Amino acid sequence: MLERIRDIRASERRVYLRVREVFTCCARLSAGRRLARPTLSLGLCNTHRAALHGV
């Protein structure tokens, strides 16, 4: 059971790392534009849905 918990935590770390990478990419592409936040929100929404539902 502990091994499964460790695996889940490691998976969460990888997801958050990817989210940070996406945010960095969006921030670079949208520098100076007001679209940075909505773009990030949409990306996080899709990432969250995929993580929860395996889509």
DSSP letter at 22?
H
Could you tell me the pTM of the whole model?
Answer: 0.47
pLDDT band for 48, please (50, 70, 90 cuts): low
Q: 3 pLDDT exceeds 90?
A: yes
**Dihedral, CA atoms, 20, 23, 25, 30, nearest 10 degrees?**
-160
Say how far apart CA 7 and CA 17 lie, in whole Å. Answer: 15
pLDDT tens, position by position, 5-39? 999 999 999 999 999 888 888 777 766 665 545 55
